[in-house]
Structure 1
Amino acid sequence: MHVDQIIEQAQEFVAYHADTDVTLDYSAASIAQVDALLDDLHHRQVDPADVGDLVVGAASYVGEVIRRTLGGTWAAADEDGADSGAAIFNPRMIVAGSSLWPASKVCKRILDGANDSLVLYYETTATIAAAMRAIAQEQEQSA
């Protein structure tokens, strides 16, 4: 799946939830809304493979929130090879030099529940990104 398709999947996820009480505005706070949706699936013991479209949409949305708020980028399919001709949707993101796989995280959230919170995932990613940027800035200033 190419980057523009991932962004389109996120947009479709938002549109699908537009007439519900779920507010998806690409803010960091909206991650909690997705987390709650996935928590419901966890409590109903839904297999992520049975809700593939939801996994793709949620992962695309979470990745887009990260990209927009933390400055991450999607790795093109031909950059990492993981998506080339693969039947499984699991594109890689790069945030401050670190690799993330939002689809894997969404599946783990459904399977493992609150132990794999998307809110904590986002907060941890934000903390690491800020630290990496601070180190890079410090190195630039000392050079």
Structure 2
Amino acid sequence: MGERLGELGLPEASGMRAYAAEFVQQLAARNRLPFDYSVASLRLVDRVVDGLRRNAPERAEIDAVLQGLGAYTGEVVVRRAGGRWVDFGTEQRELFRQPVGVRMPDGRVWNPLGKVVNRFEAGSEESVQRFYLLLHGRARKSVCH
């Protein structure tokens, strides 16, 4: 699953939808996982990351998979919550340690790729599904994740 995606690296924001679709297609070719861009499918992202953690690989070995899962997560946010992919500026790249993220209609910027990495590094206290569910109903203050 990772060789081709790892060689390609992450595209700019304009290419993230296609990148996520290619990742899902490659994943579906190997496994029968229901990655259907639904909010419920984000629970599956948590489970896949947990499975990766159990095998205790070096992070470099699975970076392409984590990037693909992060792109998928971001695409769910784009499709279900009205966000759009954006290229991060220099300061945001340093803060989020990612080149792209999702900007919501209210201007908040989110880091779904980083959230997946956090799930891998921290475990169940960092939930990708919870990340999505908390996008709605927040106070008006600007919060970045």
Category of TM-score, reference length = shorter chain: 0.7 to 0.9
C-alpha contact (below 8 Å) 1:90/1:103 kept by paired residues: no
Which amino acid is 1:98 matched to?
Answer: R
| TM-score, structure 2 as length reference | 0.75
What RMSD, in angstroms, separates the aligned Cα atoms of the two structures?
Answer: 2.0
Partner-residue secondary structure (3-state), 2:56: coil
- 1:54-69 paired onto structure 2 within 5 Å: 54-69=65-80
- The residue number in structure 2 matching 1:99 is 109
- Larger Rg, first or second structure (1 or 2): 1
Deviation of 1:17 after TM superposition, in Å, equals 2.2
Q: Do residues 40 (structure 1) and 51 (structure 2) align?
A: yes
Cα distance in 1 for partners of 2:134, 2:114 equals 16
Q: Secondary structure at the match of 1:92?
A: strand
Residues 7-51 of structure 1: per-residue CA shift (max 9 Å, x gap): 122001210122423101111111111111001112222343321
Structure 2 alignment gaps of length 5 or more: 1-10, 141-145
Q: What is aligned with 2:40? A: 29
Whole-angstrom distance in 2 between the partners of 1:114 and 1:120? 10
Alignment-mate amino acid for residue 24 of structure 2 = V
Q: CA deviation at 1:76?
A: 2.9
Q: Which runs of 5 or more structure 1 residues have no equivalent in the other structure?
A: 133-143
